[in-house]
Amino acid sequence: MTEQPNTLGLKDNTVLLHRISDRLAERFSGIFTAETVERYVFESYTALARTAKISTYLPATTEHFANDRLNALAEPKGAFASEVPEVLFVCVQNAGRSQMAAALLKVEAKGRIRVRSAGSLPAAELDPAVVTAMAEKGLDLSRDYPKPLTDDVVRASDIVITMGCGDSCPIYPGKRYEDWDLTDTANQSLDTVRDVRDKIHDRVKALVASLLRNSDLRKGEAPS
Amino acid sequence: MTEQPNTLGLKDNTVLLHRISDRLAERFSGIFTAETVERYVFESYTALARTAKISTYLPATTEHFANDRLNALAEPKGAFASEVPEVLFVCVQNAGRSQMAAALLKVEAKGRIRVRSAGSLPAAELDPAVVTAMAEKGLDLSRDYPKPLTDDVVRASDIVITMGCGDSCPIYPGKRYEDWDLTDTANQSLDTVRDVRDKIHDRVKALVASLLRNSDLRKGEAPS
């Protein structure tokens, strides 16, 4: 077809997305074809664009999200096989609970656990009260963004922890699934968010203890 | 890791999804690798599971959705190149306006236009008032389902028509973009839905006339 004007006045990001695809194709060369990487970049962009409010950062966020997904996808291929347990937190909006849990687990695990988070219906941005409550603990979530739940990250995980969205998560054999019953932080006061944050922190500490204990135990086992 | 119980009591659909992947891999053999097809099936399942309320039909819906997406993806490869103009309708929930527009365009175009629809934040199911209003016109939407907007269907389209969700749609050069300003049918009375349906029908008829006129004109042009 002949070239048509874009009557909505929206931004064509295809040049930027191709540049991102080239960079990631180089990083994942020998693992994924350039075509697969480009598919991931463009699908990640579309998935984020669906719910993002501010489109200025979309290309940068897309590169980050696509890179994470390709890393997750590479793991079952043994390309970036992870030596440490992998945990995925899923809540509805990936704007509060699952973001706090992921940030707190990263700190508590000190590199001994790989952590991801996602949402079944991702919000446009993180809840500002959540960013504030985490800043009080010295954790900067200002550059994090809500991500839709994708199959690649579920598959790469050993433990999937849902928070009020259990049946929107695909179930795979051989994984551990948990549901943490926590107040949704959407539209809550800072005090309520702080309370949820502290409850999550307690659960995260218990999780780290249990995972690293299991992990030490497994080291003593014969390989299966 | 060793097998863990699925403590949420949810259904593991992986066996069914592998069977679907095998069927589609056969259908698309020579066009896509079995690995690409499987990725599409599992990602389509996860994307639908995020917003579906009833999980009983999820595998069947997944097969339909993944098949549609793979068809869209195959077109730029020239595998299933379409001779007819392709139109994509996008609204927020893909539960009302875009579904009605797609159904009406299919009828009016009589096979001379290829039609798809999607939503930026897909609802769990079609709006019952929309199904009723369309049944009054002899059109059965009872087996349709809300689908998330994906890059493959945008890319396969010649014309993208948004309805109140313009900036959640990726913009590509060379495509025609339109925004139709229509009342959102979510939570509206049957009378309002009928009114929106009839407005859409008028616009759809005008679109068919314009597309098929252009299409006839193009036949007279020298190939560019």
Q: Which two tokens stand for residue B218?
A: 């193009």
Residue A165 banded pLDDT, cuts 50, 70, 90:
confident
Q: Do A174 and B1 touch (CB under 8 A)?
A: yes
Question: What ipTM does the predicted assembly reach?
Answer: 0.88
For residue A20, the tally of other CB atoms under 10 A from its CB is 24
Q: Please determine, for residue A3, whether its predicted confidence score (pLDDT) is greater than 70.
A: no
pLDDT for residue B3 is more than 50: no
**A175 or A165, higher pLDDT:** A175
Q: What CA–CA distance (Å, rounded) separates B56 from B50?
A: 14
Convert the pLDDT of each residue in A18-44 to its tens digit.
999 999 999 999 999 999 999 999 999
- The three-class DSSP label of residue A171 is coil
B195 touches chain A (CB under 8 A): no
The predicted-structure confidence for B30-79, as pLDDT tens digits, reads as follows 999 999 999 999 999 999 999 887 777 899 999 999 999 999 999 876 66
Question: Contact at 8 Å (CB) between A4 and B176?
Answer: yes
* A203 pLDDT more than 80: yes
Q: How confident is the model at residue B222 (pLDDT cuts 50, 70, 90)?
A: very low
Overall average pLDDT of the A53-61 stretch: 83
- Residue B151 and residue A44 in contact, taking contact as beta carbons nearer than 8 Å: no
Spell out the domains of chain A, with CATH numbers in brackets.
13-81 (1.10.8.1060), 83-224 (3.40.50.2300)
Q: Would you state the pLDDT for residue B31?
A: 94
Look at residue A1 and tell me whether its pLDDT is greater than 60.
no
pLDDT at residue B216 is higher than 80: no
- Give me the residues paired with residue B117 across strands: B89
List chain A residues with CB under 8 Å of B47: 47, 148, 150
- Contact assignment for A173 to B3 by CB distance below 8 Å: yes
β-strand partners of B160: B88, B177
User: If you measure CA to CA, which chain A residue comes closest to B175?
Assistant: A4
